[in-house]
């Protein structure tokens, strides 16, 4: 009896062998996908029912983000996405047992949003010139949108705080509408410009859906949405009745200013809890200052000097508050962005000082207005002269203000020293100036060369080429497939194809090596129909 039982057991194992292993057919998000937002659930679909023994969602810090859970079975494994998944790179690593009892493991990689921060991979792309063009176009567009947004919301602030009578003024309304319209166009254009810069597409890319989508997935996309909302409110205020106009102006200004706190490397720098309010305060003051200038001009050009004197007195009172706020916010921003005195001599530092000089000039003009010209307005004998002088200094302030905005937009397109500092820091940790990791492994007649740049957790570029050992001649295989795993971090193999380059090397670039540690890279180079060169290489990733 026992013997028959044994037979049964043996057979149940034997039948195991007759099955194929389970294979992952599809996943959501798909392997290698870049998605705009965290999906509601993570799905793995296999060719047969499997039991999941391990499932880990590893973020770029190596933390598993999935809650402990009961093993589940089925052909499709579906788990809820954990709450609060930040933008970034994730690896979903699984180990399953198929019906035949054979365990298989694998990993898929995906990315939520575009990752903001220092470019980890120094990808020596030939598109550098194109990239520069996109960055420049982005900076110009940003300058236009900054100017228009500040003018439109500043106009609203002026009406709200300084001279409510202007709310009904046609010229003031028209100006606001015009600025809001140009601003809206510029901020919308920022989306494909950002997308094109990210994807490195050509000019035709601007009208492609993919480019817009790529831009929309970034913080620029969110900022555009919020700002557009604000601009619509400001535009509506131009047509609104007396009762609702104040709400529309205030709401629109708030939304436009909030938009500044969403994107840009100041708003996205750590600590964000400090940086976001600081950036918003900075934008609010800038809007108030620059946006007030055109309505001030209008006031001086069209009103009696008594009214003008009243307006400028009220403006001066608010300006004192604004300048204090500006100094505090500016100091905090500069402190974080520079991260130390050594960053002052960088291109970012130079633009910063140019901007600072221009702001000082504006402050000087404002001081002249406040203490010299404004008091003269009420002295009858000098009122006429003072008013015309005021017109001149305010116009000068406006011109310098535009220069300040241009400098700010340029700063936005320049990497702040804090990023270089962070990069230098991680460079030091790699013990020496050598970039990346290179190695040669032999297998039979062939030697396989592998180059990993920068071999730091994050985006990496892998380059491979083959050589015949005896002749030291390059051999160009038909294809090279890679299989990347990090057993130490519990990352099962990620399977990746490589791209054949013009020089006969094969490359793969991507965020797969997103964790530090020893990565095991299995290289399969198909040299002929029936011959594959297999080598296993351990790559230390810092």
- Do you find a cis peptide bond into 454, omega within 30 degrees of 0? yes
User: Smallest distance from the beta carbon of 26 to another protein, in angstroms?
Assistant: 11
Among 52, 413, 535, 539, binds another protein (CB under 8 A): 535
CB 257 within 8 A of CB 284: yes
Name which position in 12, 210, 244, 534 contacts another protein (CB under 8 A).
534
Taking the least distance from each CB to another protein, the nearer of 248 and 537 is: 537
Among 276, 536, 539, 541, binds another protein (CB under 8 A): 536
Pick the binder of another protein from 79, 307, 361, 526 (CB under 8 A): 526
Backbone angles phi, psi at 465, to 5 degrees: -150, 160
Q: Using CB under 8 A, which of the segments 17-25, 196-204, 461-469, 508-516 binds another protein?
A: 17-25
Exposure of 250 in the CB half-sphere (CA atoms within 13 A): 8
Give yes or no for a contact between 156 and 292, defined as CB atoms under 8 angstroms apart.
Answer: no
Stretch binding another protein (CB under 8 A), from 21-29, 345-353, 356-364, 425-433? 21-29
* Residue of the chain from 441, 469, 500, 509 that contacts another protein (CB under 8 A): 441
Residues numbered 97-156 forming contacts with another protein, rule: CB under 8 A:
100, 102
Q: What strands lie across the sheet with 479-486, from one edge to the other?
A: 491-497, 479-486, 517-528, 531-541
Closer residue to another protein, CB minimum distance, 430 or 438: 438
Residues between 359 and 418 that touch another protein (CB under 8 A) = none
Piece of the chain touching another protein by CB under 8 A; list 108-116, 156-164, 403-411, 441-449? 441-449
Identify the residue among 12, 23, 320, 503 touching another protein (CB under 8 A): 23
Using CB under 8 A as the binding rule, whether residue 445 contacts another protein is answered as no
Interaction between residue 17 and another protein (CB under 8 A):
yes
Task: Kindly calculate the radius of gyration of the chain based on its CA atoms and give it in whole angstroms.
Answer: 31
Q: Does 532 bind another protein (CB under 8 A)?
A: yes
- Closest distance to another protein from the beta carbon of 6 (Å): 7
Q: How many CB atoms lie within 10 A of CB 459?
A: 21
Q: 33-35 and 103-112: which strand pairing?
A: parallel
219-227, 278-286, 469-477, 528-536 -> range binding another protein (CB under 8 A):
528-536
User: CB-wise, 16 or 350, nearer to another protein?
Assistant: 16
Inter-residue contact 80 to 88 (CB < 8 Å): no
What are the structure tokens assigned to 353, written together? 């000082």
Only one of the segments 35-43, 161-169, 271-279, 436-444 lies at the binding site for another protein (rule: CB under 8 A); that segment is 436-444
Q: Cβ of residue 421: shortest distance to another protein, in angstroms? A: 40
Stretch that binds another protein, among 16-24, 150-158, 421-429, 431-439 (CB under 8 A): 16-24
Q: Measured from the CB atom, is 275 or 452 closer to another protein?
A: 452
Minimum distance, C-beta of residue 532 to another protein, in the bound complex (Å) = 5
Residue 277 or 524: the one with the smaller Cβ distance to another protein is 524
User: What is the distance, to the nearest Å, from the Cα of residue 533 to the centroid of all Cα atoms in its chain?
Assistant: 40
Task: Rule CB under 8 A: say whether 478 interacts with another protein.
Answer: no
Structure tokens at 234: 């400001």
Closest CA to 149 of 321, 14, 26, 291: 291
Which structure tokens are listed for 70? Answer: 């009961």
According to DSSP, residue 64 is labeled B
For another protein (CB under 8 A), the number of binding residues is: 32
Q: Is 467 in the site for another protein (CB under 8 A)?
A: no
* By CB under 8 A, residue 25 contacts another protein: yes
Residues 187-226, mask of contacts with another protein (x by CB under 8 A): ----------------------------------------
Q: Is 444 in the site for another protein (CB under 8 A)?
A: yes
DSSP per-residue codes, 400-457: HHHHHHHHHHHHHTS--HHHHHHHHHHHHHTSSS--SEEEEEEETTEEEEEEEES-SS
Residues 6 or more apart in contact with residue 485 via CB below 8 angstroms: 107, 491, 492, 493, 494, 519, 520, 522
Measured between alpha carbons, how far apart are the two ends of the chain, in Å? Answer: 60
Which of 135, 449, 522, 542 forms a contact with another protein (CB under 8 A)? 522
In Å, how far are 86, 346, 438, 485, 492 from 488, measured between CA atoms? 24, 40, 21, 9, 10
Smallest separation, CB 490 to another protein (Å):
17
Cβ-in-10-Å burial (0-12, 13-18, 19+) of 35 comes to middle
State the DSSP H helix or E strand holding residue 121, giving kind and residue range, or none if neither. none
Distance CA 542, CA 539 (A): 10
Per CB under 8 A, 442 contacts another protein: yes
Q: Tell which phi-psi region holds residue 155, choosing left (phi > 0), alpha (psi between -120 and 50) or beta.
A: alpha
Q: Which of 31, 39, 43, 47 binds another protein (CB under 8 A)?
A: 47
Residue 497 makes contact with another protein by CB under 8 A = no
- Residues contacting residue 330 through CB under 8 Å, at least 6 positions apart: 282, 359
Binding footprint of another protein on the chain (CB under 8 A): 3-4, 6-7, 10-11, 14-15, 17-21, 23, 25, 47, 100, 102, 441-444, 522, 524, 526, 529-532, 534-536
């Amino acid at each position: 009896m026992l013997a028959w039982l044994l037979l049964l057991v043996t057979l149940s194992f034997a039948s195991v062998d007759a099955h194929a292993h389970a294979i992952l057919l599809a996943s959501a998000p798909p392997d290698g996908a870049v998605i705009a937002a965290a999906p509601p659930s993570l799905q793995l679909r296999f060719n047969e029912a499997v039991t999941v023994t391990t499932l880990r969602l590893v973020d770029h810090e190596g933390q598993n983000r999935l809650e402990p859970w009961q093993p589940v079975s089925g052909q499709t494994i579906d788990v809820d996405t954990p709450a609060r998944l930040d933008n970034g790179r994730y690896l979903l690593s699984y180990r399953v047992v198929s019906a035949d009892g054979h365990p298989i493991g694998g990993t898929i990689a995906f990315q939520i949003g575009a990752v903001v921060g220092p470019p980890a991979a120094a990808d020596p792309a030939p598109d550098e010139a194109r990239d520069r063009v996109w960055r420049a176009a982005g900076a110009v567009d940003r300058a236009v949108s900054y100017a228009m947004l500040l003018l439109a919301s500043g106009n609203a602030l002026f009406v709200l705080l300084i001279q409510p009578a202007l709310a009904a003024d046609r010229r003031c309304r028209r100006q606001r509408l015009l600025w809001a319209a140009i601003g809206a166009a510029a901020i919308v254009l920022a989306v494909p410009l950002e997308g094109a810069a990210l994807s490195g597409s050509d000019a035709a890319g601007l009208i492609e859906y993919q480019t817009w989508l790529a831009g929309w997935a970034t913080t620029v996309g969110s900022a555009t949405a919020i700002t557009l909302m604000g601009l619509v409110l400001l535009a509506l205020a131009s047509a609104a009745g007396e009762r609702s106009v104040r709400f529309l102006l205030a709401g629109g200004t708030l939304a436009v200013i909030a938009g500044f706190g969403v994107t840009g490397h100041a708003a996205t720098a750590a600590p964000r809890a400090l940086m976001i309010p600081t950036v918003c305060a900075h934008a609010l003051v800038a809007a108030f200052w620059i946006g007030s200038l055109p309505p001030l001009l209008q006031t001086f050009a069209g009103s009696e000097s008594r009214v003008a004197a009243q307006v400028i007195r009220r403006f001066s009172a608010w300006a004192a508050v604004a300048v204090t706020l500006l100094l505090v916010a500016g100091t905090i921003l500069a402190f974080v962005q520079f991260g130390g005195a050594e960053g002052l001599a960088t291109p970012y530092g130079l633009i910063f000082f140019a901007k600072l000089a221009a702001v000082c000039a504006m402050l000087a003009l404002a001081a002249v207005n406040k203490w010299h010209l404004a008091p003269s307005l009420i002295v009858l004998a000098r009122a006429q002269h003072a008013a015309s002088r005021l017109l001149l200094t305010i116009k000068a302030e406006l011109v310098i203000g535009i220069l300040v905005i241009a400098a700010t937009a340029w700063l936005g397109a320049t990497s702040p020293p804090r990023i270089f500092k962070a990069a230098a820091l991680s460079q030091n940790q790699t013990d020496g100036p050598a970039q990346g990791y290179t190695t040669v492994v032999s297998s039979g007649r062939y030697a396989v060369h592998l180059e990993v740049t920068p071999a730091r957790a994050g985006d990496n570029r892998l380059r491979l080429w083959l050589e015949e050992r005896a002749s030291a001649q390059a051999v160009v295989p038909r294809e090279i497939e890679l299989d990347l795993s990090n057993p130490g971090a519990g990352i099962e193999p990620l399977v990746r194809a490589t791209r054949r380059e013009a020089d006969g090397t094969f490359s793969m670039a991507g965020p797969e090596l997103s964790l530090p540690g020893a990565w095991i890279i299995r290289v399969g180079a198909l040299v002929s129909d029936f011959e594959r060169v297999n080598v296993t290489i351990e790559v230390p990733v810092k």
